[in-house]
Amino acid sequence: MARALDGHLTAAYQPIVDLGRRRVVGYEALLRYRGDHAIPAPVFAPARLLASAERIGQTVELEEAALREALRARDELPCDTSLFVNISVSALVDQRVTDLLRAQGALDGLVFELHHRDTESLKDLGASIAALRDRGAAVAIADSTMQPETLELLLRLGPRYFKIDQRLIAGVSGSRSKLAVVDSLRHLGEALDMSVVAQGIEHLADLNSLDRLGIAFGQGFLIARPAALGDHPTGLSLLEAKPTMADAGRQELAVIVEPVCELTESELDTPLLPGVDIEFEVIVSELREPLALLRRRDHRVANVALTIVSESHSARQAIKIALGRHPDARFEPMVCVDQFGACTGVVRVDRLIDLLLTSTSSGHAVTAAGPKGHSPRRGYHSRRH
C-alpha cells in the first residue's frame, strides 16, 4: 500500500455520453495502479487495492491520493465537459480532502460521485456538499442497492446525477424486468430533478433500448474503454460511426446477426422455463467470450463446432471462413463477437449467402431489417424457475 500511495497511482478516463445527441459530456476518472518491476499492475487491480486499503484502515489516504491524481486532468478537459471523480462519504468530509479541494479554487465542471459505505459521516455531509456546490461542483450518487441509506442520500442531497449499475444495464434490451426497473429509475430521476446515467453499456441493442426509454446519459465499453484522456476523440460523438437500429445495414454482418441465449458453464443444468423455444445457446466466460456453441433439438443438446467471426468482418470474409471449414460443418452457424471479443449472437450461413446474393444483385450492401423470430438473448427468457 505504501508503494501505491507513493506516486504509483494513476487514472484512466471513461467518456460519459449524451445518448440523445451522441456527444461527450464528461469523463469518469477511474483509479489505476502504475506497476513496475517490483510489483506489476495486476497485483493491485482497483478492487484489490481498495480492499487492501480498507483492511489496514487507509481508505481515506488511498482516496485522497486517487483524487489528487484525477484532478491533474482538469486543465486538459475538452470544453463543456465535466470530470466525475469517485469518492466515499467518509473521505469527502475528511479534513485532508477538504484541504486538497480548497486548494483547487473554483470547482466548476467537477462532479463528486459518492459511494456510500458508512452512516457515521452522513451528519457532516450536508455542510460539505453545500460548500462544494457554492464553488461550482455537482454531485452524483452511484449505488445499485437502493437501500435506505441510498434513498436517504438522494433525498438529503438532491444530486444532479444518479448512476445505474452495470448489473441492471447488461442485457436490458432483452429483459422486461430490467426494462421496468430502469424505466422506474428514470421516472424517479425526473421526479427528483436528477439526470440518470447508465453504466456498463456494452451492446448496441442495450444502447438503443436505453435511448428509447429516454435515459439521458451513458458510458461503457461500447462507447469507449477507460484510457488516458489524450487518447480519446474530442469534440465529435464517439458513437457517430456506430450503427443505430435504423441504420444497422451499414455494417453487413450487423444485419444478419441473430441474438442468442448466453449462459455460463455453471448454468448448463438450469432447466428452461416451459414454452421457451431455444435452438442455439452459447456458453460464455465471465467476460462473455464464446467458449462453445450448443444446439437444442428434440430435448437433446449437442455441441456444434465453434467458429468465430467478428462484427468487423465483411460478408465476403465471413463466407470464406464458413466455407473453409470441414464439409460436414460448412453450413453450421458461426458465433459473432464484437471488438472486445464478447459474444453478440450467431450468423447463419444461409442468411450470409442471401446477403451476398442480394448485395451483388443490387450493387451495394443490404439495408434490410434484421431477421425476425430471433432466439432470445440471455435475460429475454430466464432459464430459471
pLDDT digits (tens, 9 = 90+) for 77-97: 888 899 999 998 888 989 999
Residue 39 is predicted with a pLDDT of 42
**Nine cell digits for residue 8:** 504509483
* 247 φ/ψ sector (left φ>0, alpha ψ -120 to 50, else beta): alpha
Residue 374 is predicted with a pLDDT of 35
Q: What is the SS3 assignment for 281? A: strand
What's the whole-number mean pLDDT along residues 181-190?
91
Report the distance separating Cα 225 and Cα 277, nearest Å: 35
Residue 109 is predicted with a pLDDT of 93
Lowest mean pLDDT among 150-159, 215-224, 368-377: 368-377
Report the distance separating Cα 282 and Cα 284, nearest Å: 6
CB 281 within 8 A of CB 300: no
Calculate the alpha carbon distances from 74 to 40, 80, 107, 153, 231 in Å: 28, 12, 10, 26, 15
- The CA angle 94-162-233, to the nearest 5 degrees, is 95
Report the distance separating Cα 32 and Cα 336, nearest Å: 31
The Cβ of residue 210 has, within 10 Å, a number of other Cβ atoms equal to 25
CB 276 within 8 A of CB 261: no
Work out the pLDDT band at 286, boundaries 50, 70, 90.
confident
CB 9 within 8 A of CB 66: yes
pLDDT mean across residues, the chain: 77
Q: What is the SS3 assignment for 278? A: coil
Common-topology check for domains 2-230 and 248-362: no
Q: Please enumerate in sequence order all residues whose Cβ is within 8 A of that of 296, keeping only pairs 6 or more positions apart, or say none.
A: 278, 279, 280, 281
pLDDT tens figures, 330-356: 999 999 988 778 888 889 999 888 888
φ, ψ (nearest 5 deg) of residue 32: -140, 150
Residue 42 is predicted with a pLDDT of 44
* Domain edges within the chain: 2-230, 248-362
Report the distance separating Cα 326 and Cα 330, nearest Å: 6
pTM over 0.75: no
Beta strands, E only, 44-109:
82-88
Q: What is the SS3 assignment for 253? A: helix
Residue 20 is predicted with a pLDDT of 82
φ, ψ (nearest 5 deg) of residue 256: -115, 0
Rg (C-alpha) for the chain, rounded Å, is: 24
**Nine cell digits for residue 132:** 462544494
| pLDDT higher at 38 or 165 | 165
**Does residue 263 have a pLDDT over 90?**
no
Residue 245 is predicted with a pLDDT of 36
DSSP letter, residue 227: B
Q: Which helix (H) or strand (E) holds 197?
A: strand 195-198
**Does residue 195 have a pLDDT over 70?**
yes
**Does residue 373 have a pLDDT over 80?**
no
**Nine cell digits for residue 3:** 508503494
What's the whole-number mean pLDDT along residues 363-379?
38
Put the strands of the sheet holding 334-337 in their side by side order.
308-310, 334-337, 343-347
Q: Which of 123, 15, 115, 119 is nearest to 67 (CA)?
A: 115
Residue 7 is predicted with a pLDDT of 59
Residues 248-362, CATH architecture: Roll (3.10)
CB 315 within 8 A of CB 349: no
**Homologous superfamily assigned to 2-230:** EAL domain (3.20.20.450)
